[in-house]
């Protein structure tokens, strides 16, 4: 055989070998995609939504591309299945022969996901919109902004002096984007029309037809949505139909990607920053380190994604708080509070005994607590322990919880309860005005529990030592001893100088009795001995 013939044969054999490798790789990728539930599947466009898909493929192609990658697209759930509205719905409008609404609410999703709807509705996520009446929102609406529009005080080049300043901009753009807005329509009198005005029935239909009649509309029939409240995907959004929440807060609109919802970056939209840095805490923890290293081995595309079956390399937020595992039969929950035994949101941490509505039971009376509690903190803790023990021994988990409980008790007893007593005494003796944040000590106290205190407690709960200590208890203690106590004593001196002796004595007694406790003696003993 000639040299050229040999070279030809070798070339052909090499090509065939390369082709076989490509084929094997294709088969392996296909197999893994099918196992994960993401293999190539046909798009099932329902006839009712075909016109919608064809039109939006031209006008908003990104929406259609996202939808085509969703489970909805493969199971025949199209545009109308979610967006179709009843003619009586407050935000309904005629659109190319159909009655639709822009905003899809949990009540709409409940048509197919009833159990998920009920789990979510009783969760703290669904109640997140209650911040609208909280101290946090007072900061955004009043301290940072203004509840009423006001006129600009000097010209801005390129803008008319007639342009008013929206004092609610900080709340609209900040707080409400996580916690949720109270969605509003614009009325003919220029005032907002909300769920409070519409008074919807159990099906979400408005019962106050006078309010419905005042809704203003665009030329194409669309109702005017208040731009301060929409767009909004806040987790506790207060919807026009009376439902709470936004499923797209976690399950992004149109593709509803399970993979994305399972990753900590999804939670990080809201759970980060100075007062609730859970994402940063997770990243510091051994869990976060493992996740970054082993992310490609965690089967995030898996159809069920059951811990102990589909993966066991590392957890994400969803793993611990929501996702199924082998110990609970793969049960998923959309109530993250089902596995949380302490609530570390308020100034003083509380155990998570919850009532029939999912609210924390706060009464001190044992009989009342037993009567009200339908889910105990012990039961919640056991659910979390069951998750932990996929990767950790029982003794390890018990040891962690002993450390965690000790930490919370220390924070509560040494700083949170004393701080609360001092602030309550100052307010009771009228050394503080009823208005929040108009006195320095109110800022100090807010930083102590709302920022540093939360960081400390969340750091301990997620095994992040730097957040538990340096970003947490170190700053809590510095704020307590070096700022709160001196500021409280200064207010006492001012009251005494003003002749309010009884009030000054009452608050001083509270302060001195607290500091006389053994755990505070280090701060006062040497000062008193030197006098």
Residues 32-55: pLDDT tens digits? 444 444 445 689 999 999 999 999
Expressed in angstroms, the distance from the first to the final Cα of the chain is 111
Query: Is the Cβ–Cβ distance between 495 and 429 less than 8 Å?
Result: yes
| SS3 (DSSP) at 223 | strand
Q: Which helix (H) or strand (E) holds 350?
A: strand 350-351
301-331: pLDDT as tens digits: 999 999 999 999 999 999 999 999 999 999 9
pLDDT at 86 over 70: yes
CA distance 125 to 334: 9
In the Cβ-directed half-sphere of 180, how many Cα atoms lie within 13 Å? Answer: 26
Domain ranges of the chain: 104-144+167-249, 258-392, 396-529
Q: Which of 507, 361, 482 is nearest to 426 (CA)?
A: 507
What is the bridge-based pairing of β-strands 192-193 and 342-343?
Answer: unpaired
Query: Is the Cβ–Cβ distance between 14 and 6 less than 8 Å?
Result: no
pTM (2 d.p.)? 0.88
In the beta sheet, which residues pair with residue 307? 311, 325
Task: pLDDT band for 145, please (50, 70, 90 cuts).
Answer: very high
In the Cβ-directed half-sphere of 340, how many Cα atoms lie within 13 Å? Answer: 25
In this predicted structure, what is the pLDDT of residue 25?
60
Percent of the chain residues topping a pLDDT of 90: 86
Peptide bond into 231 cis (omega under 30): yes
- Please compute the mean of the pLDDT values over residues 339-351 and round it to a whole number: 97
Q: What is the 3-state secondary structure (H, E, C) of 22-50?
A: HHHHHHHHHHHHHHCCCCCCCCCCCHHHH
Tokens of 189: 């009198």
- Please compute the mean of the pLDDT values over residues 358-372 and round it to a whole number: 96
Name the residue with higher pLDDT: 10 or 136. 136
| Residue 23: C-alpha distances to residues 26, 41, 139, 285, 463 (Å) | 5, 20, 62, 41, 46
Q: Which of 377, 346, 375, 376 is nearest to 457 (CA)?
A: 346
List the alpha helices (DSSP H) in 143-261. Answer: 169-170, 176-179, 195-198, 209-213, 258-261
- Please compute the mean of the pLDDT values over residues 127-132 and round it to a whole number: 87
CA distance 177 to 323: 25
168-191: pLDDT as tens digits: 999 999 999 999 999 999 999 999
Tokens of 181: 């807005």
């Amino acid at each position: 055989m000639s040299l050229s013939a040999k070279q030809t044969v070798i070339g052909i054999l090499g090509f065939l070998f390369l082709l076989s490798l490509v084929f094997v790789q294709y088969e392996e990728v296909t197999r893994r995609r099918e196992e994960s539930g993401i293999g190539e599947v046909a798009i099932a466009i329902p006839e009712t939504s075909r016109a919608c898909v064809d039109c939006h493929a031209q006008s908003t192609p990104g929406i259609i591309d996202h939808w085509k990658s969703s489970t909805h697209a493969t199971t025949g759930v199209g545009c109308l299945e979610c967006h179709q509205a009843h003619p009586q719905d407050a935000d309904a409008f005629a659109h190319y022969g159909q009655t639709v609404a822009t905003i899809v609410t949990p009540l709409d999703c409940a048509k197919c996901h009833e159990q998920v709807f009920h789990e979510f509705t009783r969760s703290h996520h669904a109640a997140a919109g209650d911040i609208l009446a909280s101290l946090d929102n007072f900061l955004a609406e009043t301290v940072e902004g203004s509840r009423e529009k006001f006129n600009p005080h000097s010209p801005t080049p390129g803008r008319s002096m007639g342009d008013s300043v929206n004092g609610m901009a900080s709340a609209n753009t900040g707080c409400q984007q996580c916690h949720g807005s109270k969605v509003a329509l614009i009325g003919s009198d220029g005032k907002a029309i909300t769920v409070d005005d519409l008074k919807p029935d159990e099906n979400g239909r408005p019962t106050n037809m006078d309010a419905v009649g005042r809704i203003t509309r665009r030329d194409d029939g669309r109702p005017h949505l208040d731009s301060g409240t929409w767009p909004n995907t806040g987790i506790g959004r207060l919807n026009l139909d009376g439902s709470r929440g936004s499923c797209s807060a976690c399950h992004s609109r149109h593709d509803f990607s399970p993979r994305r919802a399972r990753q900590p970056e999804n939670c990080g939209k809201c759970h980060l920053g100075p007062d609730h840095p859970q994402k940063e805490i997770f990243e510091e923890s051994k869990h976060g380190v493992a996740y970054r290293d082993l992310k490609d081995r965690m089967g995030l595309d898996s159809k069920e994604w059951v811990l102990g079956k589909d993966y066991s390399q590392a957890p994400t937020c969803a793993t611990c708080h929501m996702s199924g595992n082998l110990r609970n039969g793969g049960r998923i929950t959309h109530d993250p509070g089902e596995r949380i035994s302490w609530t570390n949101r308020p100034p003083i941490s509380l155990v998570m005994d919850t009532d029939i509505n999912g609210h924390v039971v706060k009464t001190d009376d044992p009989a009342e607590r037993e009567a009200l509690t339908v889910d105990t903190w012990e039961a919640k803790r056991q659910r979390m322990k069951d998750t932990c023990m996929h990767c950790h021994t029982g003794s390890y988990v018990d040891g962690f919880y002993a450390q965690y409980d000790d930490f919370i008790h220390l924070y509560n007893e040494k700083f949170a309860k004393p701080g609360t007593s001092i602030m309550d005494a100052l307010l009771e003796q009228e050394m503080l005005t009823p208005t929040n944040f108009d006195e320095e000590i109110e800022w100090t106290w807010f930083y102590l529990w709302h920022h540093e205190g939360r960081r400390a407690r969340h750091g301990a709960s997620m095994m992040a030592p730097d957040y538990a200590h340096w970003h947490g208890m170190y700053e809590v203690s510095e704020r307590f001893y070096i700022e709160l106590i001196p500021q409280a004593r200064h207010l006492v001196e001012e009251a005494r100088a003003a002749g309010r002796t009884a009030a000054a004595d009452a608050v001083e007694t509270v302060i001195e009795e607290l500091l006389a406790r053994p755990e505070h003696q280090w701060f006062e003993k040497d000062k008193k001995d030197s006098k």
